[in-house]
């Protein structure tokens, strides 16, 4: 069952807020040694940029994007598109597979772990971020020398509009505290995630690698 984040934060008005909640990442992969072996092999294939090994490990109906045909062939095109920054795509795939993950109710294994957090419908996932760090300094101004307002550990924070070119992003915690967090510790809640599932033959496969909410 997905975790529930109880939050009533409305960025466009004076907020009514719930308390802060922390979701420390836990990697559940060790529960299944066959999964660990599969993930290790897939990580190694990504490190070596082995497209054939990846497509062989993909589900026939691999979900890769919201509007593409899916499947191993789309994965091949995704990682070998001459009109795209394929190195960036390989990198985000590597980062996703390196993240801790969890088993859902159907026995699928999802990464990263914070994808388990359920956001209320009123919250825009595109403006929601997971603080991927412990005791991260929330500062009073966008400067590393600014006073520390609070320390944030593995929490969801919200922003009215992120600026990819700024080191510090203005955020609101779920108790209404406002400040600035360094972008190195912020992961978009609607970012990339991946899922493994067991095939009818009993083998693990990569069945999801997509973004969006």
Which phi and psi angles does 92 have, rounded to 5°?
-70, -30
Average pLDDT over residues 171-197: 94
**For residue 23, which of 39, 3, 6, 37 has the smallest C-alpha distance?**
3
Q: What pLDDT digit, counting tens, does each position of 123-168 carry?
A: 888 889 999 999 999 999 999 999 999 999 999 999 987 777 899 9
pLDDT for res 177: 94
What's the mean pLDDT in 3-9? Answer: 42
DSSP string computed for 22-86: -------GGG-HHHHHHHHHHHHHHHTT-HHHHHHTEEEEEE--SSS--HHHHHHHHTS-TTS-H
User: Virtual CA dihedral for 158, 162, 167, 170, nearest 10 degrees?
Assistant: -40
Distances in Å between the Cα of 54 and the Cα atoms of 34, 108, 153 are 17, 18, 34
Domain boundaries, the chain: 29-115+193-210, 121-188
23-43 average pLDDT score: 97
Model confidence at 15, pLDDT cuts 50, 70, 90, reads: very low
Question: Is 160 in contact with 170 (CB distance < 8 Å)?
Answer: yes
Tell which CATH architecture fits domain 121-188: Roll (2.30)
């Amino acid at each position: 069952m997905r975790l529930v984040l109880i939050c009533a934060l409305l960025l466009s008005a004076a907020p009514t807020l719930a308390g802060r909640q922390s979701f420390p990442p836990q990697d559940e992969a060790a529960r299944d040694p066959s999964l660990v072996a599969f993930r290790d092999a897939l990580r190694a294939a990504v490190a070596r940029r082995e497209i054939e090994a990846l497509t062989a490990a993909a589900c026939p109906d691999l979900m890769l994007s919201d509007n593409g045909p899916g499947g191993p062939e789309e994965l091949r095109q995704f990682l070998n598109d001459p009109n795209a920054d394929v190195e960036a795509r390989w990198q985000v795939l590597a980062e996703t597979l390196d993240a801790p993950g969890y088993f859902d109710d159907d026995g699928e294994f999802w990464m990263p772990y914070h994808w388990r957090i359920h956001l209320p419908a009123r919250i825009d996932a595109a403006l929601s971020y997971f603080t991927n760090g412990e005791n991260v300094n929330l500062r009073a101004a966008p400067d590393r020398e600014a006073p520390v307002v609070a320390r944030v550990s593995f929490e969801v924070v919200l922003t009215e509009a992120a600026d990819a070119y700024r080191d510090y992003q203005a955020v609101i915690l779920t108790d209404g505290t406002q400040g600035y967090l360094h972008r190195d510790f912020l992961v978009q809640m609607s970012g990339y995630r991946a899922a493994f599932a067991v095939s009818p033959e009993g083998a693990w496969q990569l069945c999801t690698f997509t973004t969006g909410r």
